[in-house]
Structures are given as C-alpha cells and as structure tokens.
Amino acid sequence: MTLLAVVVGALATFVGTAFADRLRFRRDQARHWSDKKLAAYAEYLNAAKAMNRISRRILAGRGIGERAVALKGDDALELLAEAEARRADASEMVALIGDADVVAAVRRLNREIWRLQWIARGLLDADEEAWEICNQAYVRALNTVHESVRSELHVPGKHLPREAGPPGVPELPARPASEAEGMR
C-alpha cells in the first residue's frame, strides 16, 4: 500500500508539474508574440505616417495644403520612394503575424496611403478640397488600424480617435491680467 501511495504521489507530481510547465510555456509564447506584434504594428504605423507627412510636404510645395513645410524637387520624390519601401516592408510583417482584423485594416490604410502618394506624385489630379477629403479617409483608416491593434492586443482603456478634419490655426494663450498690466 505504501508503494502504491508513493507511485500515485509521484505520478500526481509529474502530471501537475507537466501541466504547470505547459501553462507557463503557453503564457510565455503569448507574451512573446504580443511583443513581436506590438513592435511590428508600431513600425508599420510609423512608416505609414511618414508616407503621409512626406506626401503633405510635397503637395505644400505645389501650393496644396500649405500647413506643412514645403518639399520640392527630385529629392522629395526620392524620400517618398524610400518611405514607401519602409511601409511596404513593415506591411509584410503585419500580414505575416497580424490577426485578420488588423491585416484588413492595414490593407485599407495602405489603399488610402497609395492614393495620397499618387496625388503627391502628380499621378492623380487633386485640388485642395479633394486632397482634404483623401486625407480625412486616411485618418479614418488610421483610426481603424489603431482600434484593431488595441483590440487584438487587449489594450485597456478607450481609444480616442484622431480628428479627420484640418487642424485649426493655433492661438497664443491670453496673458494673465496681472502680467498684461505690468507690461504697460
């Protein structure tokens, strides 16, 4: 009977340890892939935003969307091509490890980025109003990517989307009354 108790105890310890090890392995794997996904998503979003910034600067050089610092010449198109290469590489990693909702959102954002890029390159004719409509579609697609990533990675808290409209002109804050009187 004592021998049976020892065997049962050893078997129970083995099964319990194996089960605990398996749970720890799964938890470590989930953490590993969450970290990889977060890095891939951040790299993609940075590349996507760079494409938008460069496109806006090229268009500012042509008099459209003059809020950005103008960028002109062959160097501008070279910067755009380099940014597109970074975005494409980062997009492949997202497609490789992202879940279906994130990949679908990234593909939609890619289409919006390409439209902005084509406008910047002069392949699509757009005036200020058309540019603003396309840029708003880009911002909505960017918000969708953020929402999808946050959902997949179980990020706590509520997502506050970017506004799709053009930013207003910043104003200087009013001086306190005591400071304004001292300057007279």
Answer whether residue 83 is part of any domain.
yes
Q: Is residue 1, in this structure, part of any structural domain at all?
A: no
161's CB contacts (< 8 A; 6+ apart) are: 143, 146, 147
Indicate the residue type of 109: L
Torsion of CA 24, 29, 34, 36, to 10 degrees: 140
**Domain assignment of residue 174, yes or no:** no
Beta strand ranges found along 47-163 (DSSP E): none
What is the Cα–Cα distance from 79 to 181, expressed in whole angstroms?
50
Residue 10 lies in a domain: no
Q: Decide: 62 and 127 in contact? Cβ < 8 Å.
A: no
Domain enclosing residue 121, as ranges: 34-163
Q: How far is CA 163 from CA 27, 50, 135, in A?
A: 37, 18, 11
Give mean pLDDT, residues 124-150.
Answer: 93
Least confident of 21-25, 153-157, 161-165: 21-25
Lookup: tokens for 55: 């496109």
Name, in order, each residue with C-beta under 8 angstroms of 76's C-beta and a sequence gap of 6 or more: 54, 57, 58, 61
Task: Show the tokens assigned to 35.
Answer: 């970290």
Is it the case that residue 25 has pLDDT exceeding 60? no
Specify if 183 maps to a domain.
no
Residues 6+ apart with CB under 8 A from 41: 94, 98, 102, 145, 149
More confident residue, 104 or 8: 104
Weakest mean pLDDT among 94-103, 118-127, 172-181:
172-181
Mean per-residue pLDDT over the chain, rounded: 85
Q: Which of 22, 30, 49 is nearest to 112 (CA)?
A: 49
CATH code, domain with 148:
1.20.120
Given a cut of 80, is residue 170 above it in pLDDT?
no
The 10s digit of each residue's pLDDT in 32-89 is 678 899 999 999 999 999 999 999 999 988 888 767 788 888 889 899 999 999 999 9
Domain presence at residue 11? no
Q: What is the pLDDT of residue 1?
A: 74
> Does residue 49 lie in a domain region?
yes
136 found inside a domain? yes
Other Cβ atoms less than 10 A from the Cβ of 72: the count is 12
Task: Kindly indicate the confidence band of residue 136, based on its pLDDT and cuts at 50, 70 and 90.
Answer: very high
What percent of the chain is predicted at pLDDT more than 70? 80
Total of domains in the chain: 1
Tell me the pLDDT band of 133, cut-offs 50, 70 and 90.
very high
